Structure 1
Amino acid sequence: MPAPSATSLGLRLETARAAARLSRRELAERSGVSPSMLQKIGDGRRTPSDQALGAIATALGTTPEELLSGPARTDSRVHQTIPELRRAIAVYDLPEDGPVRPLAQIAADVATAVDDRVQSQYVRLGDQMPSLLDELFRAVDQARGRQREEAARLLALAARSADAVAYKYDYRDLSARLVELMRWSAGLADDPALTAAAAYVRMEVYFASRQLGPGLRSLRRALDQMPAPTTERLAAAAAALHMRAAVAAGRMQSADDARAHLREAEALASRVRERLYDGTAVGPDSLEIHRLSVAVELGEEADLQEAVAAATRWAPPRTLPAERRSHYYIDLARAQVQLGRPQHAAESLLVARQIAPLHVREHGQVRTALATMVRLTRGRDERILALARWAKAV
C-alpha cells in the first residue's frame, strides 16, 4: 500500500492537472516527465525526485511546496490576531494585576463572543478575545466562592470561542491549549454540564490528530461520568456527546456504534428545546444534521441516497446558528460528491457559503470535496473551479 504522503501528493497532482485542463500527455510534454511516471505519481505508487517535482510544478503553474503540502492558508486577517491570542493564554494562571468589571458585564461580552462563534464571525473574535481572556483570567484569580465558579464558567465559554479561531484557521497546537484551558475552567466551575461540553470540544483534538479510537473512548468516559440527565441542560449535554460520538464512530466505519449513539442522541434530543446549551446547539434539528454527518462518514450508498433525498424535504431552519446550518450543506455536498454529483455539490456549497462564508472557506473537508469535484469535472466546470480557488483547494 502506498504511503499516505505519496497518496496525498498524487491527489494534489491530479487536482492541479485537472484545474489546468491538461491531459497526462500534455503535462508530460510540458514537464519532461514521462506519462507512465506521471500516472504512477498520480496513483500514489511513486514519489517524484526533487527535479521531477519541480518540473511538474512549473508546468502546472504552482510550486513544489503546494504539491507536497497543499495550497497555502487563506489571506484572512485572522492570522494577524494569533500572536496576541498566544500571548494572552501563556500566563492564564498567573495574570497581572488589573481592573475587573462586574461579572454581569463580562457575561454580556462572553455571550456576544459565543454568538460570534456560532455565527462564524472569526475576524471579530480574533480581535476581541485576547483582552476578554485577560480580564477573565484576572476575574478567576481574584474571585472567591460562587463568584469564582461563575468567573470560571465564563472563562470556559470564552476559551471555547477563542478555540474556534485557532481550530478553524489550522493552529492546532493553540487549539489544543485552548481546549485544555476550557477543561481546566470547567473543573473550577464544578459544573457537570460544562465539563461534558469541554469533553465535546476536546474531540476536535482527536479529530485533528486522527486518534479516533481514543477520542471515542474519551466521549464515552465523559458520558459515564455525567450525572443522570434529570435536567434539560444535562440532557442536552448528554445528547451532544452522543451526537459527536456517532460522527466519530461513523468516521471509524463502525456502523453499529454510530447508529447506537444516534439512537441515544435521539431519545435525549427529543426532551430538549432546540437552542444553545453551553455553546452547543442541541435539539431535534441538530440531530437531523448529525444524521447526515453520520451517513457521510459511513459512506454507504443506500444511506447517502436516503440522506440526499431527505434534503429535498427538509432544510435546517434559519433559527439555527449559521455555523451549524452551513455545516449541513457542507455535508450534503460531501454526500453528493460521494454519489458522483459534483454539480449538485457545487449548489450545496454555494448555499453554505451564503450562510457562513468564513466557516466554509476555512473548512478542510470543503477543500477536500472541492479538489475531488475538480477532478471529477476535469476542470471544465468554471463554477467549481472558482469555488476551489476561493477556498484554496487548488
Structure 2
Amino acid sequence: MPRNWLDDDHTGARIAHHRKLAGLTQRGLAQRLPYSYSLLHQVEAGYKNASPDLVSAVAKALHIDVTALTGQPYMTELQQDKLDSLIRPIREALDLYDLGADPDLTPRSTEQLVAAAEGLCSQVRATQLNKAAATLPAVIAELTTAAHRTPSSELWQALASTYRSAHDVTVKLGFYDLSGIALDRMDWAAQRASDPLLGAVRQYMRALVYFREGEHTIGLRLIGAGHTILQQAPRTAQSLAVTGQLHLGATVIAARAQDKDNVGTHLANARSIAMQTGEQGHVHWLSFGPANVSVHEVSANVEMHQYGQAIENAAKVHLPNGWAMSRRAHFYVDRAHAEMETGRHEAALTSLLQARRMAPQQTRYHSGARETIRRLVHARRKTPDTLDNLAAWIGA
C-alpha cells in the first residue's frame, strides 16, 4: 500500500473537510443522504470507494459543486501532460462569440474550416486531447470571424460543433465551468444554424451535466426538451439516432436515481431505435447504435449497483471496428468498477490497463477510474508492479 494512500488528496477526505466546514458530524450528514453512516465513515477514512452517486448526493446536501469533492482538475498531472497552459487560450476563445469579425484575421475557406471542425471532433473521439486543446482556440477564432462576415448555416454548424469539442475537452480535463460556457456557446451557434439536431444534442449534453451533479429531475427534463426540439426535424436516420441517444442519456440518469422502471423504458426505446438505424457513428459524433445501447446498459447496471449483472452484460458487448476510443475506454472503466466491487481484482486491473492503452489522458482524469485504482490499491496487501505503476500514474 502506498504510504500516501490515506493522505488528504482523496474524495473521502474532501467530503470530510467540507462536512466540517458545514458544521455537520458524520451522522448529521448521513441523515441527509440516502446512504448509511457506516458507508460515509468508511468513505471519509478512505476504506471504501466514493461512488459518483454518493459524491453527487453529498454535494447536493452540502450545497457545493461536485468538483469541490472530486478534486478536479488535477493540476500536477495536467502540468506533466503539458495541458495546463492550453486551458487559458480556450477560455479566451470562448469569449469571442459576440465581438463580431476580427479585422486582423483572414479565415480559411468554408470548406477548410468545416474540415477543421470535423478534425477536432475526430481528435476528441481518439482522445488526442493535447492536439485538440492546442488547435481549438484558433479554429474557434477563425470560425467566429467567418460566420460573422459571411453568415451561413454551414459555418454556424461548424462553429457549434467546435464549441461542442471545447465542451468535450474541458469536461474530460475537469474544467466544468468552461464546459458549461462551451455548451452555452454551442446553443448560441446552433440557433443561428437553425439546426434542431444540434439543439437536441446540446440538451443531451446539458442533461449529462446534471447527471454528474445528481440533479436527476432537471436532467430528465432537459432530455424531454431535446425530444421537443427534434419535433422540428424531419424523420431521418440522423434524427432517429439523436432521439435514441437522448433515451440513452435518460437511461443513465434514471439509473443513478435508482429508478428501475424509467431505466427499462428508456433502454427499450433506445434498443428499438437502434434496430432501425444500425450503427450511426457520424451523426454529430454520437456513435449511436446497438453497441452503444449495450454499453449504456452496463453503465446503468453499475449505477444501480447491479455489479454481477454488469459483468454478465459486459461479456456480451461487441464493440464495432472503428468505434471511438473515448467510448471504448469509458466502457472498460465501468467494467473495472463492477469487477472491483465483486472482488475480481485481477480482472479489474486488466480492464483499467485496457482503458489506459486506449485513452491514456481520458483515463488519467476520469474520476471513476481514479477511485477504482485507489480502491484496488487499498484492497491488496501486496500490490503488483502494474498496479503500483498505475497508482503512481494517477498520483495516488
- Relative to the length of structure 2, the TM-score reads 0.79
Deviation at 1:190, TM superposition (A): 1.0
Deviation at 1:10, TM superposition (A): 8.3
Q: 1:254 aligns with which of 241, 253, 259?
A: 259
2:167 paired residue number: 163
1:318 to 2:325 alignment? no
Q: Measure the CA separation in 2 of the matches of 1:350 and 1:124.
A: 23
1:351 to 2:354 alignment? yes
SS at match of 2:282: strand
Deviation at 1:284, TM superposition (A): 1.1
Deviation at 1:277, TM superposition (A): 0.8
Q: Measure the CA separation in 2 of the matches of 1:356 and 1:307.
A: 22
1:270 to 2:311 alignment? no
1:341 paired residue number: 344
**Residue-by-residue CA offset, 1:163-221 (whole Å, 9 max, x unaligned):** 22211111111111001111111111111111111112222422343323211211122
Relative distance call for 1:143 and 1:356 in structure 2 (3 A) is same
**Residue-by-residue CA offset, 1:234-278 (whole Å, 9 max, x unaligned):** 000001111011011111111111111111111111121311211
Deviates more, 1:231-240 or 1:85-94: 85-94
Q: Measure the CA separation in 1 of the matches of 2:69 and 2:264.
A: 38
Deviates more, 1:263-272 or 1:306-315: 306-315
Deviation at 1:327, TM superposition (A): 1.2
Q: Measure the CA separation in 1 of the matches of 2:244 and 2:323.
A: 17
1:173 paired residue number: 177
Relative distance call for 1:215 and 1:339 in structure 2 (3 A) is same
2:148 paired residue number: 141
Q: Flag structure 1 segments of 5+ consecutive residues without an equivalent.
A: 14-39, 46-65
1:86 to 2:106 alignment? no
1:201 paired residue number: 205
4+ runs deviating over 6 angstroms? 10-13
1:21 paired residue number: none
Relative distance call for 1:135 and 1:370 in structure 2 (3 A) is same
1:111 paired residue number: 118
Q: Measure the CA separation in 2 of the matches of 1:43 and 1:333.
A: 19
Q: Are the counterparts in 2 of residues 12 and 67 from structure 1 also a CA contact under 8 Å? A: no
Q: Are the counterparts in 2 of residues 229 and 238 from structure 1 also a CA contact under 8 Å? A: no
2:380 paired residue number: 377
Structure 1 counterpart of 2:310, one-letter code? A
Q: Flag structure 2 segments of 5+ consecutive residues without an equivalent.
A: 1-8, 18-39, 46-67
Structure 2 counterpart of 1:94, one-letter code? L
Q: Are the counterparts in 2 of residues 160 and 178 from structure 1 also a CA contact under 8 Å? A: yes
Deviation at 1:107, TM superposition (A): 0.8
Structure 1 counterpart of 2:295, one-letter code? I
Relative distance call for 1:239 and 1:99 in structure 2 (3 A) is same
Q: Measure the CA separation in 2 of the matches of 1:167 and 1:241.
A: 19
Deviation at 1:91, TM superposition (A): 2.3
1:34 paired residue number: none
1:20 paired residue number: none
Structure 2 counterpart of 1:296, one-letter code? V
Relative distance call for 1:87 and 1:161 in structure 2 (3 A) is same
Structure 2 counterpart of 1:121, one-letter code? Q
2:33 paired residue number: none
Q: Measure the CA separation in 2 of the matches of 1:138 and 1:289.
A: 39
1:120 paired residue number: 127
SS at match of 1:99: coil
Q: Are the counterparts in 2 of residues 236 and 283 from structure 1 also a CA contact under 8 Å? A: yes
Deviation at 1:67, TM superposition (A): 11
Q: Measure the CA separation in 2 of the matches of 1:143 and 1:377.
A: 61
How many aligned residue pairs are there?
A: 338
Name the % identity. 28
Q: Following superposition of structure 1 onto structure 2, how do residues 194-233 of structure 1 map, counting pairs within 5 Å?
A: 194-227=198-231, 230-233=235-238
Relative distance call for 1:310 and 1:215 in structure 2 (3 A) is closer
1:243 paired residue number: 248
SS at match of 1:282: coil
Q: Are the counterparts in 2 of residues 157 and 279 from structure 1 also a CA contact under 8 Å? A: no
**Residue-by-residue CA offset, 1:350-391 (whole Å, 9 max, x unaligned):** 111111111111111111111221222246344323212212
Q: 1:283 aligns with which of 275, 279, 289?
A: 289
Q: Are the counterparts in 2 of residues 103 and 151 from structure 1 also a CA contact under 8 Å? A: yes
SS at match of 1:106: helix
SS at match of 2:162: helix
1:391 paired residue number: 394
Q: Are the counterparts in 1 of residues 96 and 141 from structure 2 also a CA contact under 8 Å? A: no
Q: CA RMSD in A?
A: 2.8
